[in-house]
Amino acid sequence: MSPMVFKAAALEPRNGGKTAPIPRRFSSLPSNGFGLLSRPKVITAEIFSASQRGFTLLEMVLVLFIMGLMASLSLMFIDNEDNQLRYQETLQKLEALQAGSINVVQYNDDFIFSGFIADNGVLPTTVDEYINLPSNWATRQLFNADNPVKYRISQSDSPDDLPGVNLFKGYRGAYIRSGIDSSGNYQTGWGHNFSVQTASNDLQFSYDESLINDAEYNALTNVREISAEQWSIALSELDNLQLTNTRGSDISGEDYKVALVVFNNKNTSDAVEYWNTYHIEINVTLNDGDTASFPLTSWKNDNDIDISTTTRIPAGQHPVLIVLSSTHNDPKGQSVITAIPGYSPQPVIKLDITS
- Domain positions in the chain are 86-153+161-233, 234-353
- Per-residue pLDDT band for 239 (boundaries 50, 70, 90) equals very high
pLDDT-derived band at 26, boundaries 50, 70, 90: very low
Highest mean pLDDT among 10-14, 19-23, 182-186, 282-286: 282-286
Does the pLDDT of residue 220 top 80, yes or no?
A: no
Q: Which of 108, 90, 110, 92 is nearest to 100 (CA)?
A: 92
| Residue 11 pLDDT exceeds 50 | no
User: Domain spanning 234-353: which CATH class is it, in words?
Assistant: mainly beta
Q: Provide the pairing of β-strand 149-151 with 160-162.
A: antiparallel
| pLDDT score at 85 | 86
Q: What number of CA atoms fall less than 13 Å from residue 260's CA on the CB side?
A: 33
pLDDT at 44 over 80: no
Q: What is the pLDDT of residue 157?
A: 92
Per-residue pLDDT at 18? 52
For residue 51, what pLDDT is reported? Answer: 55
Determine the pLDDT at residue 248.
96
The letter for the amino acid at 6 is: F
307-326 per-residue burial string, b: 16 or more CB within 10 A, e: under 16: ebeebbbbbbbbbbbbbeee
- The answer, yes or no, to whether residue 87 has pLDDT greater than 90, is no
3-class SS at 1?
coil
Confidence of residue 20 (pLDDT cuts 50, 70, 90): low
Compare 185 and 221 and report the one with higher pLDDT. 185
Quickly state the pLDDT bin for 53 (edges 50, 70, 90).
Answer: low
| CB 223 within 8 Å of CB 268 | no
- Indicate the pLDDT class of residue 173, thresholds 50, 70 and 90: confident
Q: Mean per-residue pLDDT for 289-316?
A: 94
Measured CA to CA, the distance from residue 225 to residue 228 in angstroms comes to 10
Residues in the chain: 355
Residue predicted with more confidence, 47 or 334:
334
Cα distance between residue 186 and residue 191, in whole Å = 9
Residue 3: the pLDDT is: 52
Average pLDDT, the chain: 84
pLDDT at position 84 is 82
Share of the chain above pLDDT 70, in %: 79
